[in-house]
């Protein structure tokens, strides 16, 4: 069995997450730790190794608190308070680039990490720039493909803010691609998703990509 003190420390986190509104299926941290211990046993690794003694509890805590916590929030909660859009801002892009994110691929439970570029045209409301990072993390901290992550962020912006045009472009380094299989250690993966008028390859999308290109100069 793992150190009871560590498990006791984890329990308030689990209870706290259950108390947050709109949450479903809060993780059973003790069961997760047991599953990791079973995995280590099945892999033939010695329990006598001091470096593995508290690994099940550490892994359970990391997954519950940092890798899967996105399931316990909603896009609306992540975006938080909204503010009236500035007068005359109709049709103008709001763009935030280089938002760092990390996520987990659902196929092999391996991480990927990179930068998100998020854009939207305000409807009647805008949100703080930092809330766009929180929205990315709302979906990134789940088991999700990079392509689906881009789609969910763009869709949520459109739905929650009633934005007429949204976009999410992701650049990432995938452990699945870099560390296994063909081991393409230099590969960078890209995924993009658009909603509303940005779905069209028109002036607005060209303006967005001009801004993304300008940041590299």
Q: Residue 162 in contact with residue 125, Cβ under 8 Å? A: yes
Closest residue by Cα to residue 119 from 103, 131, 130, 132? 132
Domain boundaries, the chain: 4-71, 76-214
pLDDT tens digits in sequence order for the chain, 217 residues long: 444 444 444 443 333 333 343 445 788 999 999 999 999 999 999 989 999 999 999 999 999 999 999 999 999 999 999 999 988 777 789 999 999 999 999 999 999 999 999 999 999 999 999 999 999 999 999 999 999 999 999 999 999 999 999 999 999 999 988 887 787 888 899 999 999 999 987 899 999 999 898 666 4
Helix, strand or coil, per DSSP, at residue 216: coil
Give the span between the Cα atoms of 174 and 34, in whole angstroms: 28
Give the span between the Cα atoms of 217 and 18, in whole angstroms: 46
Structure tokens at 66: 């940092």
Structure tokens at 34: 């047991």
| Domain 76-214 part of CATH 3.30.1130.10 | yes
CA-based Rg of the chain, rounded to a whole angstrom? 20
Sequence length of the chain is 217
Give the span between the Cα atoms of 174 and 187, in whole angstroms: 8
Strands 125-127, 82-84: pairing is antiparallel
Beta bridge partners of 82: 127
Query: What pLDDT does 215 receive?
Result: 66
Beta bridge partners of 137: none
Query: What pLDDT does 180 receive?
Result: 79
Mutual angle of helices 4-19 and 29-42, in 10-degree steps: 130
Helix, strand or coil, per DSSP, at residue 153: helix
Q: What is the CATH topology of the domain spanning 4-71?
A: GTP Cyclohydrolase I; Chain A, domain 1 (1.10.286)
Closest residue by Cα to residue 169 from 188, 185, 149? 149
Give the span between the Cα atoms of 55 and 43, in whole angstroms: 14
Kindly give the residue spans of alpha helices, DSSP state H, lying in 81-202: 129-140, 146-161, 175-178
Closest residue by Cα to residue 113 from 69, 70, 172? 172
């Amino acid at each position: 069995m793992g150190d009871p003190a560590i498990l006791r420390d984890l329990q308030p986190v689990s209870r706290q997450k259950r108390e947050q509104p709109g949450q479903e299926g809060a993780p059973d941290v003790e069961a997760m730790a047991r599953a990791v211990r079973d995995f280590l046993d099945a892999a033939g690794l010695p329990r006598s190794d001091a470096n593995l003694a508290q690994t099940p509890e550490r892994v359970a805590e990391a997954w519950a608190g940092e890798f899967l916590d996105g399931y316990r929030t909603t896009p609306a909660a992540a975006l938080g308070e909204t503010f009236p859009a500035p007068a005359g801002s109709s049709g103008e892009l709001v763009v935030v680039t280089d938002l760092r994110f990390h996520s987990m691929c659902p196929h092999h439970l391996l991480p990927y990490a990179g930068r998100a570029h998020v854009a939207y045209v305000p409807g009647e409301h805008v949100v703080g720039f930092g809330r766009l990072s929180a929205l990315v993390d709302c979906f990134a901290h789940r088991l999700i493909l990079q392509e689906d992550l881009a789609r969910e962020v763009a869709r949520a912006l459109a739905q929650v803010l009633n934005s007429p045009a949204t976009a999410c472009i992701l650049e990432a380094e995938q452990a699945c691609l870099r560390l296994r299989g063909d081991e393409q250690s230099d590969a960078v993966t890209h995924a993009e998703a658009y909603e509303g008028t940005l779905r069209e390859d028109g002036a607005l999308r060209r303006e967005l990509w001009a801004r993304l290109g300008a940041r590299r100069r």
